[in-house]
Structure 1
Amino acid sequence: MITIVGPTASGKTTLAAHLAASYIAEGQPAEIISGDSRQVYRMMDIGTGKDLCDYSVDMSTKAMQKWALPGVPAIIDVPYHLIDICEPGVKYNIFQYQQDFLNAYSDCQSRGVLPILCGGSGLYVESVIREYNLSPVPKNEQLRAEMSTKSMEELTAILTDLKERNNSDMHNKTDVDSPQRAIRAIEIETYNAEHKTEDRPFPMIDTVVIGVDIPRDERRSKISSRLKARVDEGMVEEIRTILDNGVHPDDLIYYGLEYKYVTEYVIGCRSYEDMLEQLEIHIHQFAKRQMTWFRGMERRGIKIHWVSALLPMEEKVSRIREIYESVCQLSEK
């Protein structure tokens, strides 16, 4: 398997699609497995940056001419998994993701398809490439009631203490950015502290991990311009529609970032200007925490091959293929 990680606005999805298309053009089926914690939800398209058009790759472009051999379709639609698999309002979690990932991965393997895992949710990606052994954790209504009156700072301190006692590297700030998520993380860590995790072995998956390295200033510029584009494309209207369909505001706020700040604007808790200002600040902070997570993966023993986001697409695709094929050859010796 090939795994592609990178911060928001680094272009990793477009890169993964072009990489997959280069293999498909040569007769090697390839499909993308999403590693994004929010793109699993239907209707949540603009706010999650789903951009499904990215999976349709134009083979006539300069970037893909190298692989546009005779007989190759003008457009290659790259198949994808774990996008639009549940309804807004559902509390999808890492345990469910592991099971869904394994089903998609096994399906690809059974059909001779090269799976390409792509996403910026570091916890989700790491949970499947480091074989986290997880068990489903039931709701603890008493704990939730006790935690509901605490501030985000208090919840963070409680979670930090539990992680230290459990020797846990789960629930980094990258994936815990709202009180609801922090309470769920505390619920999971509390359960794991009180119960022996049942033996649920997760298979070891050989993967070459590619990191998309984008300079800080370039990343910040892309985040700012992309946020404006998403607002212009109708992100506020998208969230109004989801609320009109019966999803409770608290359930959207639970998802953090765009869904937190835009929902708070729609229900009258923030001005339009404050929404945009705070959202931009927190997306920049989120991207920084993503990079912190990926550096942490390296410290935990995961080799990440970094590729510059600024390279032309053809060079990035070629470079990744070279890395992948080199690692495969070494593993065969």
Structure 2
Amino acid sequence: MTEAESKPRLLVLVGPTAVGKTNLSLEAAVRYGCEIVSGDSMQVYRGMDIGTAKASREERAAVPHHMIDICDPDHLFSVAEFQERVRRLIEDIHRRGRLPFIVGGTGLYVESVCYDYKFSDIGIDESYRKELNDYADRHGEAALHDMLAQADPESARRIHPNDRRRTIRALEIVRATGSPQSPEATGPKKESPYELCIVGLTMDRQILYKRIEARVDLMIEQGLVREVDALLRRGYTTDLPSMQGLGYKEIVGYLQGEYDLPFAAELLKRNTRRFAKRQLSWFRRMPDIRWIDVTEPNFSAHLQTFHDILAGKFTPDPE
């Protein structure tokens, strides 16, 4: 048996938001006997359904889904916790004779599982953390984020300027280790603990942007404002990382009277377009991805290309 043959198989589908991952993943999962593992950092939160574009109840009934609705929005969920949980899930799915299939768009989370990320045991520096919090209170979140951009540009690129908690944690690690690195991680190494097959979906940028705009309109029609209002009424504060997520912070501004709903919708569209651009940049740096251009609306052809890629990499046993 070769080394590749001795590794557990792992199928992965990545791509920017609104590119069409869900439909393709459901079809492929049925054909290859997969269980889907969400690779989205926001879908872990209960009560955050519309803004995170979770698979519907019907879709989750058709194919087993994991890493959805596993914690409340005030839980400080981390990439290290994601890696630990998903690696256990992969083992469990294999024991049942199924193929684990990660589907999602949070690059760091997906990559932390696919490759050999090693997470540090660096503890909390309370005095330095207080110093940084005081600095942010005096000068603002942007000034704190600028500190990180100088110390660790790569982490600053990933962390939102308003995410004080993650910015401070990244600065703590730089201070403790003396070197820039990904938040709480050293890596990734190029080797994977799995026999990987990673497929990426891409499309013409302008067409993707139109799909994003249509998705935002649909989210608002489906009740995104009610969803965010319900979270606020349940006591989830706006400084929580979950409430700073895309689709939530923009609606919070509307609910707090900072601007009207049309402005909130346009703001969300703009921020989602920018997010999609960052997603594509991240995934294009990952090794091993086989890309499918889904610009032309020919789902059957795209699905066939997906099957061809799997046949060339590994052929999971169909049910």
Seen in structure 2, the aligned counterparts of structure 1 residues 313 and 319 have a Cα distance that, compared at 3 Å, is same
Q: Deviations over 1:59-86 (max 9, x none)?
A: xxxxxxxxxxxxxxxxx71101111100
Q: Deviations over 1:152-178 (max 9, x none)?
A: 4433332233336xxxx5x36345353
Q: Deviations over 1:15-45 (max 9, x none)?
A: 111110122xxxxx31111110000001000
The letter of the residue matching 1:204 is P
In structure 1, C-alpha distance between the alignment counterparts of 2:111 and 2:241, rounded to whole Å: 25
Residues 1:274 and 2:263 are matched in the alignment: yes
In structure 1, C-alpha distance between the alignment counterparts of 2:185 and 2:142, rounded to whole Å: 31
Match of 1:31 in 2: 35
Match for residue 5 of structure 1 among 14, 22, 33: 14
Match of 1:60 in 2: none
Q: Secondary structure at the match of 1:251?
A: coil
Seen in structure 2, the aligned counterparts of structure 1 residues 133 and 232 have a Cα distance that, compared at 3 Å, is same
1:1-333 matches, cutoff 5 A: 1-23=10-32, 29-53=33-57, 55=59, 77-135=62-120, 138-139=123-124, 140=126, 141-149=129-137, 150-163=139-152, 171=155, 173-176=157-160, 178-180=162-164, 181-193=166-178, 204-251=193-240, 254-297=243-286, 302-309=287-294, 310-328=296-314
In structure 1, C-alpha distance between the alignment counterparts of 2:215 and 2:13, rounded to whole Å: 21
Residues 176, 185 of structure 1: 8 Å contact kept: no
In structure 2, C-alpha distance between the alignment counterparts of 1:206 and 1:215, rounded to whole Å: 30
C-alpha displacement of 1:324: 1.6
TM-score by length of 1: 0.79
C-alpha displacement of 1:236: 0.7
Seen in structure 2, the aligned counterparts of structure 1 residues 47 and 136 have a Cα distance that, compared at 3 Å, is farther
Seen in structure 2, the aligned counterparts of structure 1 residues 278 and 184 have a Cα distance that, compared at 3 Å, is farther
In structure 2, C-alpha distance between the alignment counterparts of 1:132 and 1:17, rounded to whole Å: 28
In structure 2, C-alpha distance between the alignment counterparts of 1:254 and 1:35, rounded to whole Å: 19
Q: Secondary structure at the match of 1:305?
A: strand
Seen in structure 2, the aligned counterparts of structure 1 residues 228 and 199 have a Cα distance that, compared at 3 Å, is closer
C-alpha displacement of 1:182: 2.9
In structure 2, runs of 5+ residues without a counterpart are 1-9
In structure 2, C-alpha distance between the alignment counterparts of 1:275 and 1:116, rounded to whole Å: 34
Seen in structure 2, the aligned counterparts of structure 1 residues 270 and 253 have a Cα distance that, compared at 3 Å, is farther
Seen in structure 2, the aligned counterparts of structure 1 residues 30 and 162 have a Cα distance that, compared at 3 Å, is same
Match of 1:71 in 2: none
TM-score by length of 2: 0.83
Seen in structure 2, the aligned counterparts of structure 1 residues 189 and 325 have a Cα distance that, compared at 3 Å, is farther
Seen in structure 2, the aligned counterparts of structure 1 residues 314 and 138 have a Cα distance that, compared at 3 Å, is farther
The letter of the residue matching 1:318 is Q
Aligned residues: 296
The CA RMSD over aligned residues, in Å, is 2.9
Q: Secondary structure at the match of 2:36?
A: strand
Residues 42, 242 of structure 2: 8 Å contact kept: no
C-alpha displacement of 1:213: 1.1
Q: Deviations over 1:265-284 (max 9, x none)?
A: 21233332332222211111
Seen in structure 2, the aligned counterparts of structure 1 residues 174 and 12 have a Cα distance that, compared at 3 Å, is farther
